[in-house]
Chain A
Amino acid sequence: MTTTSAPCVTVNGDQVPLTGVASHTTTLDWLRGRGLTGAKEGCAEGECGACSVLVARPGTDTATEWTAVNACLVPVAALDGQELVTSEGLGSSSDLHPVQQELAVRGGSQCGYCTPGFVCSLAAEFYRPGRAADAEAGSCDHEHGPNGVDLHALSGNLCRCTGYRPIRDAAYALGAPSEDDALATRRQAPPPEPRPTRIAVDGAEFVRPESLDETLALLTERPEAQVVAGSTDWGVEVNIRGRRAPLVVAVDRLPELRSLTVGDDVIEIGAALTLTEIERRLDGQVPLLAELFPQFASRLIRNGATIGGNIGTASPIGDAPPALLALDADVVLASPRGERVVPLADYFTGYRETVRAADELIRSVRLPLPLAPLVGFHKIAKRRFDDISSVAVGYALEIADGDVVRARIGLGGVAATPIRAVATEDALVGQPWTEETVRRAAAVLAGEGTPMDDHRASASYRSAMLGQSLLRLFHTRPETRRQEVPA
């Protein structure tokens, strides 16, 4: 049985008790209620980043990494025992933090409402341990600064006033943290351990169990429980649709769900690893996922959202499933009855319906090895950064001696569930990888699924994009083709 100590959060260095907070109380509302009004509500669904704050989380390159998250999505109860820094904690108007200084003097704020959020997102990038190495590598392009700053760090922050240029200039002007920077030093020590939490207010509970076994027992006993990890989906339900749960169970720090192993035959990814953590730990080992990650929501969301969550919500427009379907992924489901392994292609049964039973938890995702060599992730959306797919296509193909010998294509946004483009796969396999084959298969692909008209795209555009996608893969990857006609 979980034992709990008095819940509290360390905010800007001060330990603050969490008394009387409801399970649906967001970190943002809690902070603002305590007079820390720097973080703002702009959208309450993790799209604008005006509520961005820094949390001390386990790092990849240092013990602790200052991780920016949307305070509007995270229940404050989920931060019991954790450390939080807000814009007020970074600096004051008489003693600005370097990030604040650069933004202030370069015209990085106009109305100022989004600014504290930008400050926190940019501060996370300022303190990112890998930034110095990226700067040395010198991969400076229109999304990466000479100082290693990755603009994608700000992809979840919206500004309606500046047009972003001065914010980019401020980001690219940042140096390294100084020797005596306390937050930089803080990275060397481990972050706070997750601690078991049980908070009950007005009959609604928030529980963070200590172990997987305890979690599974709780889910068996209380099938109505709402499981949350990064709360990037549940937080939206709470804020926008007013949903409330009698019991919220947090699984994001369960050690059994947080390992990543690369074996000879399989890569196993813990369900509670965030997309950011997976991106850093895989470090390009799965090229299809490496192509996916920068297109998946925003850094702020990826810092909270887990791969298990993205599968668990079973949205037809989640971005991980099309890639994972192409990778032939399996889902490992755990329950008190043991574990079972389900191919992802069999996992989704209907609109937001899956084979997962109420007492089951997604423990991990397995990717079989070897990986197919020709991969691509095509996301069609109105906006390049942080948008929801109209259509998403994941490809994993193998070409041998000019012929397609293996094809897996995953689709999102064209049916009630993520689906595999089986007819298109069949039209490719055994055929020569030529323009003619691709044109024929593209016509098949354009007919896959049952796309709809909605505010994101018309059905006809969705279908057209399916077909165009295969043509694009073929034409943008000329190295995969035989030299058909000498130049």
Chain B
Amino acid sequence: MSALSQRPDNPIVGIPMPHESAALHVTGEALYTDDLVGRIAGTLHAWPVQAPHTHALITALRTEPAYAVPGVVRVLTADDVPGVNDAGVKHDEPLFPTEVMFHGHAVCWVLGETLEAARLGAAAVEVDYDPLASLVTVQEAIAAESFQGTPRNLARGDATAALANAAHVFEGEFEFAGQEHFYLETHVSLALVDEGGQVLVHSSTQHPSETQEIVAHVLGVPSHEVTVQCLRMGGAFGGKEMQPHGYAAIAALGATLTGRPVRLRLNRTQDMTMSGKRHGFHSTWRAGFDDEGHLLALEATLTADGGWSLDLSEPVLARALCHIDNAYWVPDIRVDGRVARTNKTSQTAFRGFGGPQGMLVMEDLLGRCAPLLGIDPLELRRRNFYQQDQTTPYGQPVRQADRLAACWDQVAESGEVARRRAEITEFNSRHPHTKRGLAMTPVKFGISFNLTAFNQAGALVHVYKDGSVLINHGGTEMGQGLHTKMLQVAATALGLPLSRVRLAPTRTDKVPNTSATAASSGADLNGAAIKNACEQIRERLAQVAGGRLGISPNDVRFDDGIVRGLSPASGEIGWNELVNVAYHQRVQLWAAGFYRTEGLHWDPNVMQGEPFKYFANGVAASEVEVDGFTGAYTLRRVDIVHDVGDSLSPLIDIGQIEGGFVQGAGWLTLEDLRWDTSDGPNRGRLATQAASTYKLPSFSEMPDDFRVKLLEKAHEEGAVYGSKAVGEPPLMLAFSVREALREAAAAFGPAGTSVDLGCPATPEAVYWAIDRARTPQAPETAPDPEPAMAGRKG
């Protein structure tokens, strides 16, 4: 075991406990950014002027009429920006645009004494537009060769030659939708000006340091004049990694110009029409198999729909390319990737960050090819698993391939998959109008930021004279339970009961230069930094305790607030007393901790290296029942075994697995982002811009029977206290739901039916799949039949 991964006796990590703020959540006492507004006198409210065009030049902007509205205090425009008029790090996102790039693009912002005044003021602003031609769909962008950023390719061996020699070659085209984050708390920032013009921005942000940087460059001030605090977020899921910056900058700009606090909170419609989403992708592929179904080669082109600006599209694409293999060994492979520029919101990070999109291409093609190969899809998947120490297409060894197999076999056994599949076959034979399906899919997901530099973190740990401990770290709490885990890490590292440790909100003036809380890395990075800080303090206290107890500092142990030697004979000293003694000996009782993930290297230009510290593994089996009359379905049972290493906090981890799974199932089966792609007056407008039109999973999508287990004997050498990251990987376990729907739809047709399934697999998409399965010769009833897939025997 490494020093990083080894646990002391009686660790607090590993104990199941509820979220550290649970009692505050349930009573409504927990404070979110917008809850502060009523506590701060004189706050102004911001409202955007959103363009009613999908692509247009702004030819005139008249703000005077807004000032005639009672209560309007200020209209913010590009002329007000003292620094850089840009909300991103790629300098392609003007904060106040001269060219409207998507329907609902904010042209300027109105500040009012009340939200009502700001709203009416925004309605009074007059803007002249010169409409331009627009690209709304990814196919339109491909046809127009509208791309942005650097195209990437990932290659190993000679895929073309291998395909030429493969016994079975199939090809297909597959386009699938993005996903709205629908964090329950919309984007919000509250900015105040402090003495000397310093700015404090409360922001619902996953990346306070970058929010700080953007606010500073918009205001034209150094970073040390801007502090960003994030109390907690009401959900984020990647949607608050880059997207909050512009809103924070508007609030800060308004506050500096008016001298008054400014609150900018998007309502749901504004949030959905203005903020970025998960990238939808278009893909084409050719896959070659041998007679036993072994994948021999894959050629694919992935086109991410990036929307109007780059945002995080390049790293999202990189992660998609690095995850197209999922859990499968593909000897010869070539994947080309590019980012389309369309006149839509700027798509961004979303739980999985391109990984799900890459893996979906693979899981979809396996699901489509299995019947054509005449191989059971479960067997096809299992047969292609990585073997120990085979390498990924980007050159990283898969060191824990045995864990994939272990997860798979455990799900198959505890889920009684063989017995249930036999029952399903029997059920299906008796029910002409209802069919069931069961599918198993694996997940192998790389942990670490692809970009090596981001894999660092800081922490600040204070021990006060009374022995109480306050910790601070660079990670943000969005519901994932990071703070709960960090408290457990600190209590473990200091050998204290949990009640002695408190955690303060994330602030850029406590821990600087932090990375986003993203890439599932929050606990790995910040936990290691906290552990580092705690160990510095513990070593100093061990010196003091060694002196008091007359033993070597190396023999001092900290456990449950008692400090003692290896032998009971040396006596003991209480934590509080020790701290007091140390203070009087002028020993430093606080420490800054730091961590950087060792062993990573990555060349983004050739897409080779070891970008990931390790892989998270998991397997799910899902069973569905589909109604042949409507395509409606229910999720009857889900069995999951997931590898979280040695869990830091099992209740939290199970919550992440279940929640991620259901969110993934939402993306794949229910959530249906629709833009107006017609040539009508609303072209480019998001048609699903509210909770009434964009449906996320509710209680009715919860599996009736949901069994989640953590993989045992799963120690991870490379992470804090032997744990693994858990935030993103479980989302991809939901492929099993989509594949089960495919199985059930196929059961309406003759044996060996290969089913093309739309994504999301809404009841309508499932209905058309059933319709095609039932009547293979008459698919023309479907409005948008998927491109047919050609197969040939080599």
Contacts and interface: CB of A to CB of B under 8 A. Distances in A.
Nearest to A119: B26
A109 B19 contact: yes
A461 to B, nearest CB: 5
Interface string B246-272: 000000000000000000000111000
B29 A160 contact: no
B27 A92 contact: yes
B268 A111 contact: no
Given A93-B29, A161-B659, A382-B762, A37 B38 contact: yes
Contact of B19 (A42, A86, A92, A112): A112
A164 B662 contact: yes
Interface string A155-190: 101111111111010000000000000000000000
Interface string A19-42: 000000000000011111111111
B693 interface: yes
Contact of A44 (B267, B480, B654, B764): B267
A475 B34 CA distance: 53
Interface in A108-122: 108-116, 119
Interface in A224-281: 236, 239-240, 242
A104 interface: yes
Interface stretch (A57-65, A343-351, A384-392): A384-392
Given A111-B184, A163-B662, A383 B695 contact: yes
B661 A163 contact: yes
Interface stretch (B233-241, B279-287, B539-547, B556-564): B233-241
Contacts of A460: 781-783
Nearest to B636: A142
Interface stretch (A362-370, A402-410, A419-427, A466-474): A466-474
A106 interface: yes
A38 B704 CA distance: 30
A104 B484 CA distance: 13
Nearest to B662: A163
A96 interface: yes
Interface string B665-698: 0000010101000000000000110111101111
A6 B703 CA distance: 50
Nearest to B35: A37
B767 interface: yes
| Interface size class of chain A, counting residues whose CB lies under 8 Å from the partner chain | 35 or more
A111 B658 contact: no
Contact of A168 (B25, B26, B236, B699): B699
A464 B783 CA distance: 12
A47 interface: yes
Nearest to A473: B629
A173 B400 CA distance: 39
Nearest to B673: A455
A111 B478 contact: yes
B632 interface: yes
Nearest to A114: B184
Given A104-B18, A155-B699, A158-B698, A45 B690 contact: yes
B621 to A, nearest CB: 16
B655 interface: yes
Contacts of A154: 699
A475 B184 contact: no
Nearest to B433: A475
B26 A106 contact: no
Contacts of A109: 18-19, 21-22, 25-26, 479
Given A38-B28, A47-B690, A110-B655, A384 B269 contact: no
Nearest to A87: B28
B27 A93 contact: yes
B691 A112 contact: no
A154 B698 CA distance: 9
A391 B32 CA distance: 39
A164 B481 CA distance: 16
A133 to B, nearest CB: 22
Contacts of A475: 433, 629
A111 B654 contact: no
Interface in B162-187: 181-186
B229 interface: no
A80 B783 CA distance: 52
A35 B235 CA distance: 22
Contacts of B119: 242
B630 interface: yes
A112 B629 CA distance: 39
A157 B700 CA distance: 11
Contact of B629 (A91, A114, A164, A469): A469
B670 A464 contact: no
A1 B313 CA distance: 65
A50 interface: yes
Nearest to A163: B662
Nearest to A242: B119
A114 B781 CA distance: 41
A45 B272 CA distance: 14
Given A116-B26, A160-B182, A45 B692 contact: yes
Nearest to B760: A382
SS class, residues of chain B in contact with chain A: loop
A457 to B, nearest CB: 6
Interface string B29-68: 1111011001100000000000000000000000000000
Nearest to B38: A35
A281 B35 CA distance: 40
A166 B662 CA distance: 13
B38 A32 contact: yes
Contacts of A236: 692
B449 to A, nearest CB: 23
A88 interface: yes
Contact of A384 (B32, B233, B652, B700): B700
Nearest to A460: B783
B15 interface: no
B202 interface: no
Contacts of B696: 158, 160
A480 to B, nearest CB: 16
B662 to A, nearest CB: 3
Contact of A42 (B268, B674, B782): B268
A466 to B, nearest CB: 11
A116 B27 contact: yes
B232 A43 contact: no
A454 B682 CA distance: 13
A104 B629 contact: no
A307 B696 CA distance: 27
Interface string B625-637: 0010110101000
A105 B22 contact: yes
Contact of A100 (B27, B767, B782): B27
B28 A116 contact: yes
Given A104-B18, A455-B672, A468 B630 contact: yes
A212 interface: no
A467 B34 CA distance: 49
A451 B708 CA distance: 43
B27 A461 contact: no
Contacts of A387: 695
Contacts of A33: 38
A90 interface: yes
Contacts of B464: none
A40 B234 contact: yes
Given A110-B479, A151-B699, A104 B234 contact: no
Nearest to B784: A458
Interface of A: 32-45, 47-48, 50, 86-88, 90-93, 96, 99-101, 103-116, 119, 142, 151, 154-155, 157-166, 168, 236, 239-240, 242, 380-388, 390, 453-461, 464-465, 468-469, 471-472, 475-476
Given A114-B234, A382-B695, 11 more contacts: A43-B691, A45-B692, A93-B29, A105-B18, A108-B22, A154-B699, A236-B692, A242-B123, A382-B672, A382-B764, A385-B698
14 contacts: A37-B34, A37-B38, A47-B692, A111-B183, A116-B28, A119-B27, A161-B479, A164-B702, A384-B698, A454-B687, A458-B764, A461-B764, A464-B771, A464-B781
